[in-house]
Amino acid sequence: MRAVLVVNPQATATSAAGRDVLAHALASELKLDVVQTEHAGHARETARAAAAEGTDLVIAHGGDGTVNEVVNGLLSVTGCGDASMPVLGVVPGGSANVFARALGLPRDPVEATHRLLRAVETGGTRWVGLGKADERWFTFNAGVGWDADVVAAVEELRAEGRAVTPALYARTALGCYFRLARREPRLSVQVGDEEPVPDLHTLFVSNTDPWTYLGSRPVRMSPETGFDTGLGMLALRSMNVYAVLRQVGAMLHGRATPQGKTLFTRADVGHLRVACTEPLRLQVDGDSLGERSAVEFSAVPDALRVAV
């Protein structure tokens, strides 16, 4: 079996020695090429080339950003649901690894590699549904407003050499909250053919559960959402501190869907459109895509085949 291992050497939980061990283990069973990413978009370019060349398996070793790039590279060649596309393998190497954890894969890279080799031997794969934000695929979440501001701010801090930790995310989220709370609501959301819902502050979109992790703690926004359903969504009508703390607490401590008059929520959504009175930031899978005045979100079932 021909395989390409796409490695992000800057990923939080990887080391040169660990990468060598994983590559050696994979090469013992696969006809393996190893590519270390050197710049933003390199993983996407590598996955696109691998798909065009008819590679059987493309393995992403890095964080969720690396996985997202590989997924977008694969689907740019084959299109979703194409049985001829390479199978995606994931060996976690980031700090959150939301997609891998949602698939039930081990967080330890060595254990994940052994699981992957077992899947290759037995033909263990599954089809998963993905989300799209305009033309960008995402595997587990997306958002407009608050969370996208947090992602952009953390990316800037990381570029300055700051270590990315749950505490850094929490502090950054608090600062972004206070800036957002002082502004008038700028969002409207239209679900399917329904009437748009105006005067919303921020939007969270989920393709699976949990929406993300804060350290080891899952953040559950839409527990009924999974890779076999449509998208889940939650929008805030109010940035009142007590209401927001109550909803954040519910997302951190329970499996029930957050509820209340300050929320607009839906599950199993096939399509939704966001319009902004002023441009707001967009993020997908923890990657900032800049500011948008409008975004089309859609759920695409059985889009990608993954080794499990």
Beta bridge partners of 5: 34, 59
Q: Is 267 inside any structural domain? A: yes
Q: What is the mean pLDDT of the chain?
A: 93
Provide the percentage of residues in the chain whose pLDDT is more than 70.
Answer: 99
Residues 222 and 298 in one domain: yes
Q: Is 7 inside any structural domain? A: yes
Tell me the DSSP string of 140-159: SEEEESHHHHHHHHHHHHHH
> What's the chain's Rg over C-alpha atoms?
19
| Structure confidence by residue, pLDDT tens digits, 172-206 | 999 999 999 999 999 999 999 999 999 999 999 99
Q: Is 307 inside any structural domain? A: no
Q: Is 308 inside any structural domain? A: no
Residues 187 and 240 in one domain: yes
Looking at beta carbons, which pairs linking 106-112 to residues 24 or more positions away fall under 8 Å?
109/13, 109/14, 109/18, 109/22, 109/61, 110/18, 110/21, 110/22, 110/25
Residues 169 and 103 in one domain: no
Residues 60 and 189 in one domain: no
CA distance 116 to 90: 8
What's residue 255's pLDDT?
Answer: 61
Residues 147 and 99 in one domain: no
Choose the final residue of a domain: 94, 123, 152: 123
Residues 153 and 241 in one domain: yes
Residues 256 and 149 in one domain: yes
- Biggest CA-to-CA distance, the chain: 58
User: pLDDT class for 23, splitting at 50, 70, 90?
Assistant: very high
CA distance 155 to 283: 11
Residues 102 and 143 in one domain: no
How close are the terminal C-alpha atoms of the chain, in Å?
16
CB 146 within 8 A of CB 136: no
Q: What is the total count of domains within the chain? A: 2
Residues 119 and 142 in one domain: no
62 in the Ramachandran plot: left (φ > 0), alpha (ψ -120 to 50) or beta?
left
Choose the final residue of a domain: 67, 99, 123: 123
What's residue 254's pLDDT?
Answer: 65
What is the residue range of 271's domain?
138-302
Residues 224 and 107 in one domain: no
Q: Is 264 inside any structural domain? A: yes
CB 146 within 8 A of CB 219: no
| Structure confidence by residue, pLDDT tens digits, 122-181 | 999 999 999 999 999 999 999 999 999 999 999 999 888 888 888 898 899 999 999 999
Residues 150 and 112 in one domain: no
Three-state SS for 200-257 is ECEEEEECCCCCEEECCEEECCCCCCCCCCCEEEEEECCCCHHHHHHHHHHHHHCCCC
Compute CA 9 distance to the chain's CA centroid, rounded to the nearest angstrom: 19
Query: Taking the alpha carbons of 132, 154, 113, 105 in that order, is the dihedral positive or negative?
Result: negative
Q: What is the CATH number of the domain that holds 291?
A: 2.60.200.40
Q: Is 235 inside any structural domain? A: yes
Q: What is the CATH number of the domain that holds 67?
A: 3.40.50.10330
Instruction: Spell 64-96 as b/e; 16+ CB within 10 A means b.
Output: bbbbbbbbbbbbbbbebeeeebbbbbbbbbbbb
Choose the final residue of a domain: 89, 123, 157: 123
Residues 10 and 90 in one domain: yes
What's residue 174's pLDDT?
Answer: 92
What's residue 256's pLDDT?
Answer: 66
Q: Is 79 inside any structural domain? A: yes
Place of tokens 């037995």: 122
Q: Is 113 inside any structural domain? A: yes
